[in-house]
């Protein structure tokens, strides 16, 4: 079983919709017989210094610095892995038997504000909806829910559900897709609302192979 840590980063709003999307993702993987589960690791608190103001032609925009967020999530993942190892070791000693192989090499962070990073060559900030960063064998995923926000809670949850599947798909080696698929990134949010809340057949089969470590 592949566990993916799931964390609120900062004072995340829309908790009910996020919790709903979290449950839907786990139910989806269970129904598809895929050994992936999100596991909630709580909230990662941020000091006021983490939120920065970016000045643009359209006015001031608040955002979280990409590098700071990914470093914090990486540290959170290492701590969660250590706890998981100790629990597995204690259960094995108590039961005097081996357990199902369980790993946690990935963590997923949800943030309210855009993720921003200063361009190393030009003096401006770039904004990201979702990003992934590797720390050797460990992978950190971050998704900003700002573009998904809607007064319609069901619509917001649907958008977030697709966004989580999209990032997890990348984490298991999937590239962008041109079909009606969660791996097909939208140019505008209206396209995302029309996109099916599932992987296309080709992407799903690739995901299944990658998760199970199968080869052709």
- Residues 80-106 pLDDT 10s: 999 988 887 777 667 765 556 788 999
Query: How many Å apart are CA 24 and CA 29, to the nearest integer?
Result: 9
CA nearest 197: which of 4, 15, 27?
27
Question: pLDDT per residue over 160-197, tens digit each?
Answer: 999 999 999 999 999 999 999 999 998 889 999 999 99
Look over the chain and give the mean of its residue pLDDT values, rounded to a whole number: 86
What's the predicted TM-score (pTM) here? 0.87
C-beta of residue 39 within 8 angstroms of C-beta of residue 3: yes
Fold of 2-212: Collagenase (Catalytic Domain) (3.40.390)
pLDDT at 133 over 90: no
Domain ranges of the chain: 2-212
pLDDT at 24 over 70: yes
- Residue with structure tokens 């590098």? 67
């Amino acid at each position: 079983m592949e566990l993916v840590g799931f964390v609120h980063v900062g004072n995340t709003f829309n908790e009910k919709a996020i919790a709903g999307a979290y449950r839907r993702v786990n139910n989806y993987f269970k129904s598809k017989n895929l050994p992936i589960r999100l596991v909630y690791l709580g909230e990662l608190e941020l000091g006021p210094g983490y939120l920065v103001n970016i000045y643009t032609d359209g006015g001031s925009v608040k955002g979280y610095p990409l590098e700071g967020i990914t470093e914090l999530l990486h540290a959170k993942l290492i701590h969660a892995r250590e706890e998981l190892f100790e629990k597995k070791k204690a259960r094995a000693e108590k039961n005097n038997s081996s357990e199902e192989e369980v790993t946690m090499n990935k963590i997923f962070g949800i943030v309210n504000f855009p993720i921003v990073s200063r361009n190393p060559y030009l003096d401006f900030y770039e904004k990201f909806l979702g990003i992934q960063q590797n720390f050797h064998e460990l992978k950190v995923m971050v998704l900003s829910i700002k573009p998904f926000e809607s007064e319609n809670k069901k619509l917001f949850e649907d958008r977030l559900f697709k966004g989580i599947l999209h990032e997890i798909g990348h984490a298991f080696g999937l590239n962008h897709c041109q079909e009606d698929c969660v791996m097909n990134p939208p140019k505008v949010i209206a396209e995302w609302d029309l996109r099916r809340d599932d992987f296309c057949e080709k992407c799903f089969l690739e995901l299944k192979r990658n998760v199970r470590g199968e080869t052709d």
